Amino acid sequence: MTYGLGMLLDAGLVLVADTRTNAGVDNVSSYRKLHCLAHGPDREIHVACSGSLSASQAALGILLEGHRPDGEAIPALEGAGSMFAVAGIVGEALREANRRIDQALAPVRKAAACMLVGGRVGDGPPRLFLVYEEGNFIECKSDAPFLQIGETKYGRPILDRTIRPSTPLPGAVKIALLSFDSAMRSNLAVARPLDMMVMPSDRRQPTFVTRIEKDDPYFNTLSARWSDLLVEATMAVPDPDFMCAGVAARPLSVVAVTSGT
């Protein structure tokens, strides 16, 4: 499966992807899914992929070679005047890659990829987009300052409760790692190493990428400490009144099934 997460904060952009790919639990391997498509003074473009690995690699191949498999040129990322235009070009490549692979696999099964595209062009601020399988896309806005692809559910509760546009980058990175930890605990199709890209809004600070390895001691400590803190937080919240000893909050009776009450 995979899990990809993008956060667009006042302080900058964070993109994270795991590396697990699988064709069943008996056929598992590790592939980078966070890629840098452009890195220069006028543009930085990064993508995180989920779904069919062959589809996402085909889309990236189209983008980097600048033409479809049939030879027809696609617009160059280097010439895009905005991140909106970049998302459109990535969408075009992804739609073409998904269409070809889906046609080939149609008798057997469905396969497609989708992507998070983040970066900046010219003097613009960092922007973040989710490009769907069909090539259409949405942009991340401050009402919901993150976007997810792949195994999105297990990792989402902590994001809903803690990520705000004002969250500082170090805090956002910790929350991103905890979100991945939640996904990895419950879904074997998400696993370390994780790849992370952090692009501060402040241009004086450099963008950087890092890899969290399988045995990363910081990640292990974060995960263990977090579990302890959750248990402590549970105890810090007062017990509900109805748990006071001996209180039967409602008399017991065999419920009529169809009453709906």
Which of positions 185-244 make contact with a copy of itself (CB under 8 A)?
A: 185-186, 198, 205-211, 218, 222, 225-227, 229-231, 233-237, 239-243
Out of 67, 141, 153, 214, name the contact with a copy of itself by CB under 8 A. Answer: 153
Beta partners for 28? Answer: 22
Residue closer to a copy of itself (CB basis): 29 or 142: 29
CB distance 6 to 147 below 8 Å: yes
What's the rounded Cα separation, in Å, for the pair 178 and 219?
A: 9
**Residue 20 touches a copy of itself, criterion: CB under 8 A:** no
Residue closer to a copy of itself (CB basis): 104 or 224: 224
Residues 6+ apart with CB under 8 A from 172: 7, 9, 11, 14, 163
Out of 90, 115, 182, 190, name the contact with a copy of itself by CB under 8 A. Answer: 182
Question: Where are the alpha helices (H) located in the chain, listed in sequence order?
Answer: 53-65, 83-105, 156-162, 169-186, 217-236
**Residue 112 touches a copy of itself, criterion: CB under 8 A:** no
Residue closer to a copy of itself (CB basis): 136 or 227: 227
CB of 162 to a copy of itself, least distance (A): 5
Restricted to residues 45-64, the positions that interact with a copy of itself (CB under 8 A) are 57, 60-61, 64
CB distance 115 to 94 below 8 Å: yes
Q: Which of 172, 162, 163, 152 is nearest to 18 (CA)?
A: 152
